[in-house]
Amino acid sequence: MKKIETADGQVLRDTFSAATAWLEKSVADIDALNVFPVPDGDTGTNMLLTMRSAVEEAFRVPDHSASAVSQAMAKGALMGARGNSGVILSQIWRGLAKGLANKDQFTARDFAEAFLEASKTAYKGLSNPVEGTILTVIREAAQTGVKAAKEYGDNLIVVMEAIVDAASKSLANTPNLLPVLKEAGVVDAGGQGLYTILEGALRYLRGEGEQMQFRKPQIVTSSAVAPARLPPLNVKEIPFGYCTEFLIKGKDIDADKLRERLKKNGESLIVVGDNSNIRVHIHTLDPGKVIHIGTALGTLHQVSIRNMDEQHEDFLEMQKQRLPASDVAIIAVSPGSGISDVFNSLGAFVVPGGQTMNPSTKDILQAVESVVPDKVIILPNNSNIILTAGQVHSLTKKNVRVIPTRTVPQGVAAILAFDYDSDFETNASMMEKAKDSVRTIEITRAIRTTRLGDLRIRKNQSIGLLDTELVAVGNTPLDVLNQVLEKIKLEDYEVVTIYYGQDIPQAEAEKLAAELREKYPNLQIEIVRGGQPHYEYIVSIE
């Protein structure tokens, strides 16, 4: 395992340069998330431009000390900051630079402290900080970072991992804090941008620079249950006004005083900078007045006034084009985070649950009620959940159909058969048929000593189920899996997908896949992190 004890300004530069490239790949996706504070749809772009400016400035300083490079990045970020999130990002850099001041090199502990300072500074520029945004993400990530640094103060990678992990969780939770996100069924765009930057930095520190070229950042999925309703499309009570931004260059400007003066002129006000460079961002109905106040204090630069009502319309248009219209929602019960990702990526809403953690009828009902469409298909993906799911239809006015999928692979096969062009009934019957096109192997452990047919099973031994029938027993999951595989005529199939559980290291799953590929060269073997507990492996054979 790679370990970084201390780092200097050069590392800082390279790391965030890589993180900026990483962010760049995600810009369009982040722009599409944007719903807060007004849907101006360019958060990703703004954050990228801010980061670019920061990185450019970092490469301009000849000094390699952490202090000099972080100062330069803070300056570059302020000069290049655009939009709400960009300005907050520039504040984050400012705080980070403050935390790293007078340091040639920094340890994980130094970084965690500086990151906490960054979090505090981010809050300071705002007249009215809102939770469920980038602010929450950095605060929670920074707090976790400091905790992690207490134990792993000598390892930057471990501390960064803790920060990224916390940022991801915090981000997934943003819709629970901010109703506008919950309605749109997305996470906060600025938070996503920050998470992507941090994640890119972590990947680079881990030495994954090469792989990063070929991969793309993922957008974090909302942990809140999907939207109860979409925001009304054509009702527009309050005009959004103009997003007004500029940089004031002058002498001895009092940022606090300026913020106070501008406060009553609009929404989403941010005033940041030092006393000679101040960046202003405000959503106002009267940009003229705001500019007037600015010009009294110094010269104005990078002035930008954009009509947000226009942007809002473009945004709605963009949202409309994003996905095919379907009046059917699919809700899948998922036993693991990786499997949830699979279902999400195929267009389903997810209710967590599985073996020994069956969701209640209420859990599923809640999900059914919270999706927009009136027609809902439920994939229980576990034989113990089929009945629970079956209760839902009597408790809701919505038209609900349960496809009795007994395993995750059956659920995946069913959702793949979904056709945007077909109606509810046709889809339900196609999905029902499709679920039987796949065979499932599940590897788990015996919970008690028993005997079943010819099989003598001791407690905690590995057992293998083929289409939910117990058919093999052994001492290791791999051994059992191979036994079950031998019972199937694999030559007759095309695709094998292995979802490995939370206790299985990726390397072990990869090794298994390599062995299978050698044994069955005609099969397409794919491994996917399932993240499920109790089941070491869930295997789909099609």
Partner 1 sequence: MTVKIMADSLGDIPADVVKDLDITIIPIHVLFGTTSYKDGVDLTTEQFYEKLVNSKTLPTSAVPSLGTFIEYYERVAEKADEIIVCTISHKLSGTFETASRAAEMVKKKCRIKVIDTLQVIMGEGLITIEAARAAKAGESFENIVKLIEHNMKRVEPRMAFDTLEYLKRGGRIGAAQAFLGSVLKINPVLCMKDGEIYPFARERSRAKAIESLYNFTSGFNKVDALAVEDATTPGEADALANRLKEKFPGVPLYRSKVSAVIGVHVGPSVIAVTVLGDRKQ
- Closest approach of partner 1 to the CB of residue 343, in Å: 9
User: Which position among 166, 297, 412, 512 is part of the footprint of partner 1 (CB under 8 A)?
Assistant: 412
Q: How far is the CB of 341 from partner 1 (least distance, A)?
A: 5
Interaction between residue 542 and partner 1 (CB under 8 A):
yes
Q: What six digits make up the tokens of 453?
A: 């047919």
Residue 524 Cβ vs partner 1, minimum distance, rounded to whole Å: 6
153 or 338: CB nearest partner 1: 338
507 binds partner 1 (CB under 8 A): no
Six token digits for residue 83: 């939009």
The binding track of 508-537 with respect to partner 1, each residue x by CB under 8 A or -, is ----------------x-x-x---------
Binding mask 280-319 for partner 1 (x = CB under 8 A): ----------------------------------------
Residues from 386 through 405 that contact partner 1 (CB under 8 A): none
The strand pair at 450-452 and 455-457 is best described as antiparallel
Return the residue of 346, 446, 455, 488 that touches partner 1, per CB under 8 A: 346
- Give the distance from CA 192 to its chain's centroid: 7
Give one DSSP letter per residue of 317-374, joined into a string: HHHHHHS---SEEEEEEESSHHHHHHHHHTT-EEEE--TT-PPPHHHHHHHHHHSS-S
Angle, helices 134-152/83-99, rounded to nearest 10 degrees: 20
CB of 38 within 8 A of CB of 308? yes
CB of 364 to partner 1, least distance (A): 23
Query: b/e map of 497-509 (b: 16 or more CB within 10 Å)?
Result: bbbbbbebeeebb
- Minimum CB–partner distance for residue 437 and partner 1 (Å): 10
CB of 315 to partner 1, least distance (A): 17
Residue 145 near residue 162 (C-beta atoms within 8 A): yes
Q: Which of residues 469-498 bind partner 1 (CB under 8 A)?
A: 494-495, 497
Question: Which span (194-202, 239-247, 337-345, 363-371) binds partner 1, by CB under 8 A?
Answer: 337-345
Helices (H) and strands (E) in the chain, counts: 20, 18
Residue 89: count of CB within 10 angstroms of its CB:
30
CA angle, residues 133, 137, 139, in degrees to nearest 5: 115
Of residues 264, 323, 397, 491, which one binds partner 1 by CB under 8 A? Answer: 323
Task: Enumerate the β-bridge partners of residue 281.
Answer: 245, 270
Cα(519)–Cα(537) distance, integer angstroms = 19
Total binding residues toward partner 1, as defined by CB under 8 A: 23
- Residue placing its CB nearer to partner 1 in the complex, 471 or 541: 541
> Contacting partner 1 (CB under 8 A), which of 299, 345, 384, 426?
345
Query: Residue 336 has which token pair?
Result: 């693991």
Per CB under 8 A, 268 contacts partner 1 = no
In the list 209, 250, 298, 347, the residue contacting partner 1 (rule: CB under 8 A) is: 347
- Pick the piece of the chain touching partner 1 (CB under 8 A) from 225-233, 340-348, 365-373, 440-448: 340-348
Query: What does the block give as tokens for 202?
Result: 């972590």
Encode 315-354: b = buried (16+ Cβ within 10 Å), e = exposed: beeebeeeeeebebbbbbbbbbebbbbbbbeeebbbbebb
The 418-437 site mask, x for binding partner 1 (CB under 8 A), equals -xxx----------------
Per-residue contact string for residues 199-228; x = within reach of partner 1 by CB under 8 A? ------------------------------
Smallest distance from partner 1 to CB 191, Å: 19
Task: Note the residues at the interface with partner 1 (CB under 8 A).
Answer: 321-324, 338, 341-342, 345-347, 412, 416-417, 419-421, 494-495, 497, 524, 526, 528, 542
